[in-house]
Amino acid sequence: MGETSQLLMTFILNALWQISAITAVALVCTKLLYRMPSRYSHAVWALALTACLLVPATTILLHGGETVDQAARTDAGHSDRLAEPGSEAIPVSLHSLIRPVSISPSILYALLWTFAALLLFRAIRIVWLGYQTWRVRYLAYVRPLPPSSAEIVERCVRSFSLSGISILCSAEASGPCTLGIRRPVLLLPERFFITGLVEDDIFSAVSHELAHVRRHDFFFNLLYEVAYIPLCFHPCAAFILSRIAQTRELACDEIAARMLPTAGQYARSLLHIAQSMFAEARSDLNYALGIFDTNTLEERIMNILKTNHAGGKRARVLRLAAVCLIGVVSLGLSAFSLRLTSTSNSADLEQFAGTWEAKYQGTTFFTLHLKLANGSLGGTCIHTDRLEWVDGDLIPTGNELTTDKILKASGSGKKLVLKIGDGNSSDGFALEFTLTAPDRAEAKVPVPSDSGSPPQKKPWHFLRIAQ
């Protein structure tokens, strides 16, 4: 399995439990904000979605290179002792927070293909909805409103202190909706351009859509959809996205309701508009923000009729507590991670089987006997008992040979990482073994940057003498 595939699977494995934990924390935070304005809950869910994307990604950045680096750090002391027998090294790290997980290649590839299919589906869906949004905007046309309706719309626009908003008629829209980022457009269905509509209904619908414009919801909705793409495999991420949409509508309802004398008037208007829209039974499948996008009419009416207490100082304290709780939990989750250590494919390991020799000045100082059995690569290693750094090169200086075991072997493509040791102690060293030809290879001992030893400049050259 390649490095990119391994990073993707590490992202998926960590996201599975990290997103679930973040969702649970966000639920607790919204409970703290009960009876507070819905914009606070909306901010919590938006922050939760951001954390769901950043926490697994941060885990990859922090621990993505641990597979080779951890082996190098663990073995740094051993490499130094080959040159200086009396030296000691005590590595200090957070590796204990990383738990390795081994998954068979067949399951890995099945998960990767499923993940790729979901990503492709979401990408196609976004493109399709983008096309539908463009189509609705393209087919919209300028049409004068009746004088009474025009006066109501103008009053709404002045109430929100907005300018530069185009008002167009759309035969494709079943209800009022807004779209656009720099130059927002308010689309009204054709029935809004005839007389006989209730004044409160027009005022409520337009106020709700202008609240979307003032909050820049169209732009943020696109950001949330893009952020959701790599998380689309997780049910909790879908739940968070739905809560973002629902609390967005609740927040706009609360803004629009304040424009009318009483919240009850706005609630009655919602019911009238919903009855007229649902009678048409038309589905608006696009990215335009409509007044009934989330199909949560009952929740919205109950939210409007309840009394929301902003609470002044109490509101600020609760907001701060919610943000801090999500932030602290997110930072804590990023420190704990699952690291994928996949079971190597037999076909990948079979190409390394055989007896390999490396020589220095005509004398063999390193011999590898690699055997493939039951899908695992093992064997023995015969090498000189002493190595020294000379001008950045690791060369043999000992006269005696010692035999160690191949404790672990993981292959990916033409590269093989070996863990070599006697099996009776924690001492051991890593060897990066790379095929350069069918019977030729190069190898280096990985050295961490903070070990004090220079990196190995020239690799050892191996020749396969027996299959």
Task: Provide the strand spans (E) within 79-219.
Answer: 98-101, 166-170, 177-179, 185-189
pLDDT of residue 314: 65
Please give the Cα distance from 229 to 57 (Å, whole number): 14
Model confidence at 300, pLDDT cuts 50, 70, 90, reads: confident
Cβ atoms 108, 1 nearer than 8 A? yes
Give residue limits of the domains in the chain.
346-466
Q: Is 369 helix (H, G, I), strand (E, B) or coil?
A: strand
d(CA 186, CA 170): 10
pLDDT band for position 320 (cuts 50, 70, 90): confident
Per-residue pLDDT reduced to its tens digit, 362-401? 889 999 999 988 777 889 999 888 888 887 788 888 888 8
Question: Tens of pLDDT along 139-191?
Answer: 999 999 888 888 888 988 888 888 888 899 988 887 788 898 888 999 988 88
CA 331 from chain centre, in angstroms, equals 15
Q: Kindly tell me if the per-residue pLDDT of 241 is higher than 90.
A: yes
Which residue from 302, 210, 204, 308 is spatially nearest to 261, judged by alpha carbons? 204
Which whole-number Å values give the CA distances from 163 to 57, 104, 185, 235, in the listed order? 40, 59, 11, 40
Q: Decide: 420 and 428 in contact? Cβ < 8 Å.
A: yes
346-466: CATH topology: Lipocalin (2.40.128)
More confident residue, 288 or 119: 119
- Has residue 267 got a pLDDT over 60? yes
Mean pLDDT for the stretch of residues 304-310: 63
Q: For residue 147, how far is the Cα from the chain centroid?
A: 50
CB 411 within 8 A of CB 421: no
pLDDT score at 212: 92
DSSP β-bridge partners for residue 390: 393
Q: Are 265 and 148 in contact (CB under 8 A)?
A: no
pLDDT score at 231: 94
Taking each continuous run of H as one helix and of E as one strand, the counts in the chain are 13, 16
- Which residue would you say has higher pLDDT here, 70 or 258? 258
Mean pLDDT for the stretch of residues 34-42: 85
Give yes or no for a contact between 303 and 250, defined as CB atoms under 8 angstroms apart.
yes
What distance in Å separates the CA atoms of residue 168 and residue 189, rounded to the nearest whole number?
Answer: 9
Mean pLDDT of all residues in 438-453: 81
Task: Give the integer Cα–Cα distance in Å for 3 and 164.
Answer: 50
Q: Are 270 and 288 in contact, with CB atoms under 8 Å apart?
A: no
φ/ψ of residue 307, rounded to 5: -95, 120
Contact 230, 50 (CB under 8 A): no
Report the pLDDT value the prediction gives residue 424, as an integer from 0 to 100.
Answer: 72
Q: Which residues, listed in sequence order, are joined to residue 460 by a DSSP beta bridge?
A: 443
Is 71 within 8 Å of 416 (Cβ atoms)? no
Least confident range of 102-111, 113-122, 201-210, 333-342: 333-342
Residue 254 CB contacts under 8 Å (≥ 6 apart), including other chains: 37, 38, 39, 303, 304, 308
The answer to whether 217 touches 252, Cβ cutoff 8 Å, is: yes
Tokens of 164: 């530069």
Quick one: pLDDT at residue 53? 92
Confidence category of residue 233, pLDDT binned at 50, 70, 90: very high
Between CA 38 and CA 34 the distance in angstroms is 9
**Mean pLDDT for the chain?**
80
Cα–Cα distance measured from residue 29 to residue 326, given in angstroms and rounded to the nearest whole number:
8
Which pLDDT tens digit goes with each residue over 57-86?
A: 887 776 554 444 444 444 444 444 444 433
Q: pLDDT at residue 295 above 70?
A: no
Higher pLDDT, 200 or 335: 200
Angle between helices 3-32 and 235-257 (to 10 degrees): 40
Q: Are the C-beta atoms of residues 373 and 379 closer than 8 Å to each other?
A: no
State how far the Cα of 456 lies from the Cα of 394, in Å rounded to an integer.
Answer: 6
> Residue 308 carries which DSSP code?
P
Distance between CA atoms of 119 and 114, rounded to whole angstroms?
Answer: 9
84-93, 221-230, 253-262: which has the minimum mean pLDDT? 84-93
Q: Which residues contact 423 (CB under 8 A, 6 or more apart)?
A: 405, 407
Give the model's confidence band at 266: pLDDT under 50 very low, under 70 low, under 90 confident, else very high: confident
